[in-house]
């Protein structure tokens, strides 16, 4: 969604624009900072750029301020980036690209009018880059100017007809405006004219789901499931969509299928089997879970829900082995299982280890029931 656009998305290609000096000073800290920036070590680059003396700064002012701004931009220190790029733009050898860098800094500072102004000052340097068109459209959108945001994307598509990021962004805008039918039409056109990837379907579907358009999202994802049969993520997102409609069985089938390619999903698949009232299948899947603490915690819950209290109380040693007896919810579950077997002393022992305020009422209630069963056992038959 456009409201979650990260400034990092618009940093594409900025490292290629680091100005290079023809002169190589003996102690080229500017060169070292540039090297660290290219390698992605932004904190060390920032440390080096701050050690450069004022004489070098004055001698290589444009290179210094531009590099300082790029490092700050990648650190998301947008105010520092803005100040550096303003100084760079003031130099006699300043290049148009510095305005594009400055626009990115202003976007990060949420000064969208200034962002648009700097893009315009960048001229052809900016209009030749798809990411700059996307940045400008986003700035208009964030400023509340939907018409210019849309017009910017239309103009960009005329210039870059084969650029798939532009119709993807148009889809997002239409969805944000609540124009879901138009978004679906554009999405259909997108899939016909471009070689779609699984991530395209996922992004479109997640946008629709966020807008509450579950049926449309499911329709899109079912098509994607046929097209990208090996995509685990498509199955995951489709399962999530079915969950929104409480179609637990369908969601469970999908997630279990996805778990065959990603074992980290097995526990979630077991949980969906539980929700779809398939306890035996849930317990089977639980045996395949690799993380012992997650496996045992889930198994305890499944056994109790299935009324298999004798097996539940026998899990004490295994739970202790992985440190789960420090979990007060586990203590309460064991107390409840023992209570259901009329093992009141054992249940009481677990309850004594609980002091969490959110479990207090449950503990009091269970203690009360056990006391009643002790004094009037015929009521607990």
> What is the domain extent for residue 117?
1-161
Assess if residue 94 is contained within a domain: yes
Mean pLDDT by 10 residues, the chain (381 residues): 48 49 56 91 93 81 92 96 94 88 96 96 91 96 96 95 92 91 89 87 91 92 92 95 94 94 94 92 94 94 94 94 93 93 91 90 89 74 52
Say if CB 134 and CB 104 are below 8 A apart: no
Assess if residue 294 is contained within a domain: no
Assess if residue 117 is contained within a domain: yes
Predicted TM-score (pTM) of the model is 0.70
The half-sphere exposure of 180 on its side-chain side, counting CA atoms within 13 A, is 15
Assess if residue 109 is contained within a domain: yes
The domain that contains 12 carries what CATH number? 1.25.40.10
Residues 68, 37: Cα–Cα separation, whole Å? 10
- Give the pLDDT confidence score for residue 30 in this predicted structure: 85
Say if CB 49 and CB 34 are below 8 A apart: no
Say if CB 98 and CB 17 are below 8 A apart: no
Residues 6, 40: Cα–Cα separation, whole Å? 18
Residues 119, 311: Cα–Cα separation, whole Å? 67
Length of the chain: 381
Number of separate domains in the chain: 1
Assess if residue 186 is contained within a domain: no
Assess if residue 122 is contained within a domain: yes
Assess if residue 21 is contained within a domain: yes
- Give the pLDDT confidence score for residue 237 in this predicted structure: 95
- Give the pLDDT confidence score for residue 92 in this predicted structure: 78
- Give the pLDDT confidence score for residue 378 in this predicted structure: 66
Assess if residue 234 is contained within a domain: no
């Amino acid at each position: 969604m456009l409201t979650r656009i990260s400034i990092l998305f618009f940093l594409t290609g900025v490292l290629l624009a680091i100005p290079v000096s023809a002169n190589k000073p003996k102690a080229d800290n500017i060169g070292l900072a540039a090297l660290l920036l290219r390698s992605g070590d932004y904190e060390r680059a920032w440390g080096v750029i701050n050690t450069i003396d004022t004489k070098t700064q004055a001698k290589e002012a444009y290179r210094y301020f531009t590099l300082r701004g790029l490092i700050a931009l990648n650190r998301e220190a947008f105010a520092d980036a803005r100040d550096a790029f303003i100084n760079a733009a003031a130099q006699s050898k300043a290049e148009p690209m510095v305005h594009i860098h400055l626009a990115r800094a202003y976007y990060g500072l949420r000064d969208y009018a200034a962002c648009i102004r700097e893009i315009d000052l960048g001229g052809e340097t900016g209009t030749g880059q798809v990411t700059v068109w996307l940045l400008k459209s986003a700035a208009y959108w964030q400023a509340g100017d939907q018409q210019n945001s849309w017009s910017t994307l239309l103009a960009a598509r005329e210039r870059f007809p084969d650029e798939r990021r532009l119709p993807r962004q148009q889809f997002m805008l239409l969805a944000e405006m609540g124009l879901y039918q138009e978004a679906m039409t554009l999405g259909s056109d997108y899939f016909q004219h471009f070689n779609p990837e699984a991530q395209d379907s996922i992004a479109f579907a997640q946008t629709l789901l966020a807008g509450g358009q579950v049926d449309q999202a499911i329709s899109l994802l079912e098509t994607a499931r046929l097209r990208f049969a090996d995509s685990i993520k498509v199955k995951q997102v489709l399962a999530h969509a079915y969950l929104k409609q409480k179609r637990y069985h369908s969601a469970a089938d999908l997630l279990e299928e996805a778990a065959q390619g990603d074992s980290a999903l097995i526990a979630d698949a077991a949980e969906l089997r539980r929700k779809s009232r398939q306890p035996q299948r849930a317990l089977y899947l639980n045996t395949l879970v690799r993380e012992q603490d997650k496996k045992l915690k889930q198994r305890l819950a499944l056994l109790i829900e299935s009324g298999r209290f004798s097996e539940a109380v026998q899990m004490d040693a295994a739970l202790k082995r992985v440190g789960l007896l420090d979990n007060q919810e586990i203590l309460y579950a064991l107390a409840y299982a023992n209570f259901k077997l009329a093992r009141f002393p054992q249940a009481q022992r677990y309850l004594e280890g609980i002091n969490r305020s959110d479990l207090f009422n449950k503990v009091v209630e269970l203690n009360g029931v056990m006391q009643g069963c002790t004094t009037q056992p015929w009521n607990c038959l």
